[in-house]
Structure formats: structure tokens, C-alpha cells
Structure 1
């Protein structure tokens, strides 16, 4: 966490501190959500975005494989794939991001300076990925501590710069977002199981558990990252072809300060929640595994009935959780579009939801470590 934060203060060569060409307001804060020291134009400008995108793509790719095929892939091999994909994302995003920066004409030829800046951002993204993977092996919380820094510092800075306390409406939305996140993260649906191999006093304690928010805060995070990919691409194309009216219009509309951009972001949250839930949890495969092991949900036939029940359950709760998350964001974005709050505060509920989710996950993991260390054999 310290290394990641320290690198925020390493400036990019030849980049001025003038406003960038990709706008401010809600779009700026969205970039801060998954980006790093964007306002400082540092080597950590891309933040955790390449790592998040790579993690998503690799998880989705492996989710399409059968369970037998996934079992043959070692953690080392999957990490190598993740690193390769993260490097590809880092270079592409660094190149696209470089076209939105204001370059100092005295720093040298624009093409050379742009290349240097791209390589600096690429190096920062590589270091971020390595830190996340290293903490996954050696530390607690996998990549969450790095993401925590990535969220907390810009959140605190944005609140201070935009007088957060002067706008109680957005404060109420943030409080509701935190309450919803904590409730969904710590609430489980327990489906009692009948296991043919267990016949003792603990048999009634066997259950299949699902969180009420099956994918947690992942849809909000990945929606932010997914939204930025086409935005950076349009931004780069608009910079290369300033005379193209269609690209200029797309650049203007695909922002969170416009109704179209806000609607696209909210739809992404719901769609990604449903997509991730079925890909990662795969209720039909779970039902097949139960049937193959001779187990079943109490009061339900194994096989098709269980598969339909689990599919409906996952669909219901992934949709409801995404709807609650999108509702919190919709209120905030509506306040921003109406001018009731500054546009830069529009994404504050998203940051608070991510922050609450990370804290809940870290607390649960640390409790698990404590219980493990506190275990004693019967004397």
C-alpha cells in the first residue's frame, strides 16, 4: 500500500498540469474510481484499471471451461495468463490515455514525449499488477488493500475539493449505499443439504450458501472500468480526427454528465451483475455436482428441479442487488444532472460502496485468520 501510494508522486515527463481534454466532473471522478493519481498526472495514472480488466477477462474465459478443464490449470499458469492480459490492457490504455494529456511543447517532439509518457504509465500499471499479485500470495485481502488506497485517497480529496459537507443530499445517498452494501455483503441465504456421506449430530449443519449480493460490488467496479474503455477509445480517435463531427458528438455524449452516458453506466451495472453471477457461480453446474455426489437440497429432487431452483435464485438476487446498487447511483447521477450537486460528487456513492465492500471482506478474512490461529486441539 505504501509503495503504491508513494508512486503517485512520481510525475509524468513533459505533461502539464492544465486540464486534460477528456472533461471533468462525473467523468473525472469515474476515472479516479479505477484510475490512480490522475489529477497529479503520475505514473500511477491508470491505477488498478488494467489489473481489474485483466482479472475480469481471465475469470470470464475460465468460467466458460468445464470444471474438469479448470481443475487442470494451476494457479501459477492462471497468474501468468492474468499478467499477460494485464500488460496488454496496460499498454493499450496507456496509449489511449496519452492522447488526453496536455503535453509541454518545450519537453521535446510531441511523438517522443507521448511515447515516454505511455511507457511511464505502462510501468506504473505493471508495478500495480505485481503488487496486487504479490499481496495475494504473501499478504491479506489479495488485491483489496491496493484497491482500498486507490479509492480512499481520491475519495477524500474529491470530498474536500468539492465541499462534500455542503451537500447533505449526496451524503444521504452515500449512507444508503453503505447500508445496502454492508447488509448484502454480510447476509447469506443458506440452503440445507442432505449429504449421503454424513450421518451424525452435525448433519443438519450442512448447507449451500449464497450471498444476497452474489457478486458483491464487482458489477460497480467493472462497470466503471468497462465504461472507460470505449470512452478512452473515442477520446483517442477524436484527438486523431478532430474534423470528424460524429466522433466529436460521441465524445461529448459518452460522459456521466449527460443522460446517455449515465444510462449506459447504470445498464452496465445490471447486465454485468447478471452475467458475472451466471458465469462465476454457474448454478447448473452446482446442481450437477450435487447430483453426482449423491447430495440434494432438503425437500427437492436432485437434477433438473435443483438446477431450475438455483438458476432462479441466482437470477433473482443478482438482479435485486444490482438494482439496489444502480438505484443508489441513479439518484446521485440525477442530482448531478439537475445541478443540485457538483458533477465531481456524482460518483461518490460508487466509491463508498466499493469502500464498504472492501472493508467487509477484509474484516471477514482477518476474522478467519484469527479463528485459524486460535484453534487448539482437545486436551
Structure 2
């Protein structure tokens, strides 16, 4: 406890760090206040928010901190920006023009960010129109159409752009990645309500207090397991040759390339979830298939068929996303240019093949563990855990929470160590999370 108070005191003594933390809290407070401001022309009492708490809409509502179900001006949150970032990143792989921009350094990144913003506006407008027409019931609309749709589209688009601006301000003047922190705050905002509901359910007779304590212990173990997956690395030793520059000797040291066990982050779960919503969408276009047993089974989030297919898709997407984001050939070329080599491995293609082989071997257990984390919420629901509380047992939300918290703590520790204070831990260092797409800056999000 004394160590904790000493660390907090050291953090407060560093003026720059203190100002950044205060700025971050103020910006996040602005976001949370805005999430309760209802769209103009909407009657809050007539809203049917139950449909926005299940399935894909429930996931979006969690990322938006409940704004989606409340028809807030921030109802869409930063999800259009995350979607645009993912699209731009995939374009960087498939389209030579975007691939060239990614290699142009700072100017290229500025161009990519500009394209991402333009695409964000287009996606937000499309989603705003769909939201105002499909999510808000006619009974809740106090303004007639089409004026209501036009007004809501304008306000929702402005709200998303304002949230993007808040995220950028947090990144520049605060601590941590702004967009990731906004998503994390939205997820955490749902935790107290879910916790209280689960506690009341258990203590009122469904399982008792002992069952609730067992659930909390299980949640802690799952969080620890997730941290191991996020932090896990396979280090490859790299030796740098000695070279003389004037009277000084450079090189001759051994360093390590840390290859993440889960290099793909949360993206495989996001891609797999997008595909798993297809079976539930098909009956809306083909009503005759509404009673199809296969589609019904795949649409049931607690069924074995759904979760087995979900896990397989996550494993496949983990390999796919790792393959397009980690380039062994480029790593080998960069190593060769800097006079580095892996002991016992020839430079060039042999080194690239060696790195690729190591990545393939560590990706398999990483993908399996990621799939296990993703299906734990469904297993928790099967054993009787409240569906909202079960979401914190794994899946996208837990990985984002762990990644963002570790990343923020790592930045705080860097400020402390830079000014010769002790770090946040007595031994070791907080590594932070794995690298995220440059366009997103999140686990989409952190993100």
C-alpha cells in the first residue's frame, strides 16, 4: 500500500504527466456527458432500447457506452472511424496507391489520415440515415419525416466528428491513445450496471452469494489469462556486427525481436463476428428460411454450432491478419541493412523463412487461445451468468480493455522512468500492447 501511495505521489509531482492525466479525464468527462444528450426531436420515454442491447447492436451499444440505445448525439461513437480505418488499412494491402502512401513516412501517414477522415464522414452519413430510420421508432419521433432524418443525420455526423476530435485531443494533450480510451470508457460504463444486476440476481435466490463470488474469481482468472495472451512474445536473438566509425566502435551487441503470440490483436474476432451475423440476416431477406434449423442454430449465440464455427473463423482470420500485417521479408531486409543477423541463420531469404516459420508456430497457440477467450462469454451465459455481465468474461470488450489499460500504464511508467522515478512495478516493466494499425491507432480500436 505504501508503494502505491508513493507512486501516486510521484505521478502528481511530474507537472507534464499531471496535466496530461487531468486533460484526459476532462475530455472523457465531456464525452460521457454528451452520451446522455438525446437527439433533437426524440421522445426518450418512447424509445424501445431493448432491441439495441442484443446481438450486433448490443456490441455497438457497449462500445458507445450506452449511447446507441439512448439515441444520444454520440450514438454512433467512434465506430464509423474504426470501420473507415480498417477499410483504409485493407486498401493499403490491395491497392498500390495506398501501399505507396504507407511507405512515404510522415507525409504518407498524413494523406492516409485525410482519406480516413473523408471515408469516416461518408460511413457516418450512411449509418446515421439507417439509424434514424430503423432504430428510432415512429412513436419516439416528435418531428415528421423527412425533416427528422435530415436533422438526425446532421447531428449524428457532427457528433461522431466531435468524438473523433476529442480522441485526437486526448492523444495530443492527454495520456494514452484517445480513440482507444473513448472505447474503453464506453465499455467500462456498462460494467457497474451489469455487476449490480448479476449481484441482485444471485443474492435473491439464483445461486446465492457463493456462486457470485465464484463468478468474480473466474472473471479475475480470465483477465489474467487475457493479459498473458496480450503480453506473450517469442524473442528472436539478433546479433549486430562490429564496425568502426572514427575512433568509436558501433554494433557488436545482441538484441531481440519480440514477436507477439497474438500479433493480430482483436481484429480476428471483429472479422469473425461480422460473418457470424450473416445467418441471422438471411431470414430478413428470405422469410421462407426463418425456420431453417441450420440458420437458427448458427444464429443462436449459445449453441455449439455457432461457437464452434466462430472459433474456427477466429483461428483462420488470425492467420490471415498476421500474414498481411507481419512481413518477414521486410524484417529480414531491414536487419540486413543495419548489419544484423540471426546467429546460425544466413541473411536474406533464409532469415525471412526462419522468421516466417517462427511466426507460423506461435500463431497457432495464439489463435486457439484467442478463440477460447472469444467464446467464454457464451459459455458463461450457458451456466446462468447474466448476458450483459457475461460479455466481460471475454470477447472483443475484454481484449480491448486489457490492451488499452496496459498501453496507458506503459506510457505513465515511461514518464516516471524518464524522470528517474521508480516504475509502476517493483520488478519488470509493463510492455504495453501489441502494435496496432497505423490508421486506427486502436484495438478496434483498441479497436
State TM-score, norm by structure 2: 0.70
1-structure distance, mates of 2:31, 2:57 = 21
CA shift at 1:259, angstroms? 5.6
Cα 1:332–1:23 shift into 2, 3 Å: same
Please say if residues 215 and 318 of structure 1, whose CA atoms lie closer than 8 Å, have aligned partners that are also in contact.
no
CA shift at 1:359, angstroms? 0.9
Cα 1:283–1:247 shift into 2, 3 Å: farther
Cα deviation digits, residues 313-332 of structure 1 (max 9, x gap)? 22333332232122133232
RMSD of Structure 2 on Structure 1 (CA): 3.6
Q: Which residue of 2 aligns with 1:348?
A: 392
1:55-74 aligned at under 5 Å gives the runs 55-63=85-93, 70-72=102-104, 73-74=107-108
Cα 1:158–1:367 shift into 2, 3 Å: same
Secondary structure of 2:148's aligned partner = helix
Please say if residues 332 and 347 of structure 1, whose CA atoms lie closer than 8 Å, have aligned partners that are also in contact.
yes
1:224-239 aligned at under 5 Å gives the runs 226=274, 234=281, 238=284
CA shift at 1:254, angstroms? 4.3
Please say if residues 276 and 310 of structure 2, whose CA atoms lie closer than 8 Å, have aligned partners that are also in contact.
no
Which structure has more relative contact order (CA 8 Å, sep 6+)? It is 1
Please say if residues 53 and 222 of structure 1, whose CA atoms lie closer than 8 Å, have aligned partners that are also in contact.
no
Secondary structure of 1:14's aligned partner = coil
Query: 2:329 aligned with 1:269, yes or no?
Result: no
Please say if residues 315 and 367 of structure 2, whose CA atoms lie closer than 8 Å, have aligned partners that are also in contact.
yes
CA shift at 1:270, angstroms? 3.0
Cα deviation digits, residues 27-81 of structure 1 (max 9, x gap)? 5542333334223221222222112222222223334559865232433212111
CA shift at 1:294, angstroms? 4.1
Query: 2:149 aligned with 1:149, yes or no?
Result: no
2-structure distance, mates of 1:88, 1:255 = 32
CA shift at 1:335, angstroms? 3.8
CA shift at 1:227, angstroms? 5.8
1:1-379 aligned at under 5 Å gives the runs 1-12=28-39, 13-14=41-42, 16=44, 17-20=46-49, 22=51, 24-25=53-54, 27=56, 29-36=58-65, 37-63=67-93, 70-72=102-104, 73-98=107-132, 99-104=134-139, 107-142=142-177, 143-163=179-199, 166=202, 167=212, 170-196=215-241, 203-220=252-269, 226=274, 234=281, 238=284, 244-246=287-289, 254=299, 256=301, 262=307, 265-336=310-381, 338=382, 340-349=384-393, 350=395, 351-374=397-420
CA shift at 1:8, angstroms? 0.5
CA shift at 1:252, angstroms? 9.9
Cα deviation digits, residues 292-323 of structure 1 (max 9, x gap)? 44422122112222222222222333332232
Secondary structure of 1:74's aligned partner = helix
Secondary structure of 2:367's aligned partner = helix
CA shift at 1:5, angstroms? 1.1
Cα 1:169–1:41 shift into 2, 3 Å: farther
Please say if residues 18 and 102 of structure 1, whose CA atoms lie closer than 8 Å, have aligned partners that are also in contact.
yes
1-structure distance, mates of 2:140, 2:180 = 39
2-structure distance, mates of 1:25, 1:162 = 17
Deviates most, 243-252 or 141-150: 243-252
CA shift at 1:104, angstroms? 2.4
Segments of structure 1 that go 5 or more residues without pairing to the other structure are none
Please say if residues 26 and 257 of structure 1, whose CA atoms lie closer than 8 Å, have aligned partners that are also in contact.
no
State TM-score, norm by structure 1: 0.81
2-structure distance, mates of 1:11, 1:357 = 31
1-structure distance, mates of 2:70, 2:32 = 12
CA shift at 1:105, angstroms? 5.8
